[in-house]
């Protein structure tokens, strides 16, 4: 618990040490706008709810737009700026909505939504781009490069502090090859076909399913379990066999109950017959005895 508290405290101190804290109305300068060296998060002199108005004698103003549904730095009771309409985007500064950038235009790091969608976005769109568009190395481009063509790689390292206090580096490699059929080879800078399950790999993007574990392309953890046809057949036979067994067992139990009931009724029937015979014999004996007495008289 102590290590967890120290970790949380360090993270908070780490954020405020590099993020701006100037409140609305304070002085700032856009010349100090930058990306964090570890997280690549946009930082400025102003707080997370404000932006700087100019390079010299600037003023921190409240942001007029946001890119996320739940933006960072806002509390439950804080007023949230509006989201930008379709065809526009909110930059990292949050100063105003802007029109999406065409191919070849400048964009901010990892902001694919700042780029205008491709005309054939339905053919090349997937979870690794924004309607077929990418922002690589600060330039908008389409993710439509096919096998054998030169490609562009954007490689970034994100650093964080683990629970043990040591730095953890995560390398993210992105390219403009048409995914998931191909990937960009970092040595040749040419798109190559992605590898199938069981093939040797070095990084996730080399695999068709984007999951390289211990040098082998494997299925990602979220892959649903697939049942083989023979397993369906065995399961069906087991279910049918269980149903037949239950029916047979119920039939046997029912027959045993009927047989037991039949025996009880038969025993009762014979008992009643014996009782009736005994009563008739008693009446006959009484009649004979009465006749003898009358003869003696």
What is the pLDDT tens value at each position of the chain, 297 positions in all? 333 343 344 444 444 444 567 888 899 999 999 998 888 999 999 999 999 998 888 999 999 999 999 998 899 889 999 999 999 999 999 999 999 999 999 999 999 999 999 988 989 998 889 999 999 999 999 999 999 999 999 999 998 888 888 888 888 899 999 988 899 999 999 999 999 999 999 989 899 999 999 999 999 988 888 888 999 999 999 999 999 999 999 999 999 999 999 999 998 998 888 888 888 888 887 777 776 766 666
**Which among 101, 69, 99, 104 has a CA at the least distance from the CA of 83?**
69
What's 210's DSSP letter? S
29 three-class SS:
coil
Q: Which residue matches tokens 């030169």?
A: 150
Where do the structural domains in the chain lie, given as residue ranges? Answer: 1-68
Q: Is the pTM of this model over 0.85?
A: no
The span from the CA of 27 to the CA of 54, in Å, is 10
Strands 88-89 vs 98-99: parallel, antiparallel or unpaired: antiparallel
Unique residue bearing structure tokens 């700026």? 81
The CA distance from 63 to 79, in Å, is: 10
């Amino acid at each position: 618990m102590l290590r967890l508290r120290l970790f949380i405290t360090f993270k908070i101190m780490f954020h405020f040490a590099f993020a701006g804290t100037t409140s609305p109305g304070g002085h700032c300068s856009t010349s100090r706008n930058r990306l964090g060296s570890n997280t690549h998060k946009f930082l400025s002199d102003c707080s997370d709810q404000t932006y700087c108005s100019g390079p010299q004698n600037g003023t921190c103003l409240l942001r007029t737009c946001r890119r996320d549904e739940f933006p960072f730095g806002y509390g439950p009771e804080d007023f949230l700026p509006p989201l930008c309409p379709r065809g526009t985007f909110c930059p990292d500064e949050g100063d105003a909505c802007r029109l999406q950038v065409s191919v070849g235009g400048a964009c901010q790091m990892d902001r694919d939504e700042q780029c205008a969608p491709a005309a054939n976005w339905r053919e090349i769109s997937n979870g690794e781009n924004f309607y077929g568009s990418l922002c690589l190395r600060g330039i908008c481009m389409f993710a439509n490069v096919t096998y054998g063509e030169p490609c562009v790689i954007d490689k970034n390292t994100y650093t964080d502090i683990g629970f043990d206090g040591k730095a953890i580096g995560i390398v993210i490699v992105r390219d403009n090859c048409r995914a998931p059929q191909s990937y960009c080879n970092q040595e040749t800078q040419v798109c190559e076909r992605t590898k199938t399950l069981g093939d040797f790999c070095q990084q996730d993007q080399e695999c068709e399913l984007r999951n390289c574990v211990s040098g082998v392309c494997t299925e990602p953890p979220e892959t649903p379990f697939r049942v083989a046809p023979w397993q369906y057949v065995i399961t069906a036979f087991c279910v049918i066999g269980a149903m037949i067994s239950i029916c047979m067992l119920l039939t046997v139990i029912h027959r045993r109950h009927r047989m037991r009931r039949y025996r009880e009724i038969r025993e009762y029937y014979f008992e009643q017959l014996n009782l009736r015979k005994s009563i008739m014999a008693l009446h006959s004996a009484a009649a004979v005895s009465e006749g003898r007495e009358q003869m003696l008289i």
